[in-house]
């Protein structure tokens, strides 16, 4: 698709682009607006194809046309038509953005890997409370009906859905849901009684 666009076939278009580019040397705003109107969509399409992100592609379009405005003297119509030169600018700018984004991600990843470990003072009371709470949960789980206990373990420790639990235990779905709901209520009540 872009190859066809990069090889202009209409000599009038090629001539018009060259004329507009020459007018940029005199800082002709109208010439700039015409070039922007004629080619901003194709620059955006190329940037979007490379970057896969609309807002960043829009920034690239702005950067490219700002570069065209500031550096119009770098375009040499003897070396070829305006569009391939413009698309080369757009491609390079988009790839620069892509590299910059990758570099930022690498830096962030390396910075998180290099973070010093935080040393905290031991919290004996907190550790003891957590240990007692874990023991209480184990005792409450042991007091549940074996099928309730098994259904809760499958749901919370193995991550199975209610349907998967029903299939695994070969029980109706409604029954499994009741076991889990009632078992969790018993656990909650038991934990609240000890708090």
The whole-number pLDDT of residue 120 equals 62
Q: Between residues 11 and 190, which one has the greater pLDDT?
A: 190
For the chain, percent of residues with pLDDT exceeding 90: 36
- Identify which of 52, 53, 61, 71 has the alpha carbon closest to the alpha carbon of residue 93: 61
- What is the full DSSP assignment across 10-53? -HHHHHHHHHHHHHHTTT-HHHHHHHHHHHHHHHHHHHHHHH--
Determine phi and psi for 8, rounding to 5 degrees: -60, 135
Query: Average pLDDT of 83-94?
Result: 92
The whole-number pLDDT of residue 1 equals 42
Q: Between residues 161 and 4, which one has the greater pLDDT?
A: 161
User: What is the residue-averaged pLDDT of the chain?
Assistant: 84
Q: Between residues 126 and 31, which one has the greater pLDDT?
A: 31
pLDDT reading at 108 higher than 90: no
pLDDT one-digit tens code per residue, 115-160: 556 666 667 777 777 888 888 888 888 898 899 989 988 887 777 8
The whole-number pLDDT of residue 152 equals 87
Contact residues for 45 (Cβ-Cβ < 8 A; gap 6+) = 2
Ordered by where they begin, the domains of the chain are: 2-105 (1.10.1740.10), 125-194 (1.10.10.10)
């Amino acid at each position: 698709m872009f190859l066809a666009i990069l090889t202009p076939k209409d000599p009038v278009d090629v001539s018009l682009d060259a004329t507009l580019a020459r007018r940029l040397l005199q800082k002709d705003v109208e010439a700039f607006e015409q070039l922007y109107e004629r080619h901003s969509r194709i620059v955006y399409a190329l940037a979007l194809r490379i970057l896969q992100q609309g807002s960043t592609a829009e920034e690239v379009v702005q950067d490219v046309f700002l570069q065209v405005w500031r550096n119009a003297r770098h375009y040499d119509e003897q070396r070829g038509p305006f569009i391939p030169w413009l698309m080369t600018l757009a491609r390079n700018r988009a790839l620069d953005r892509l590299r910059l984004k990758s570099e930022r991600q690498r830096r962030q990843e390396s910075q998180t890997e290099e973070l010093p470990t935080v040393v905290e003072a031991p919290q004996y009371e907190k550790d003891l409370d957590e240990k007692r709470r874990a023991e209480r949960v184990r005792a409450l789980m042991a007091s549940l009906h074996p099928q309730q206990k098994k259904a809760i373990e499958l749901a919370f420790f193995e991550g199975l859905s209610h349907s998967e639990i029903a299939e695994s235990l070969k029980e109706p779905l409604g029954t499994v849901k009741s076991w889990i709901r009632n078992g969790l209520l018993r656990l909650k009540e038991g934990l609240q009684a000890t708090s």
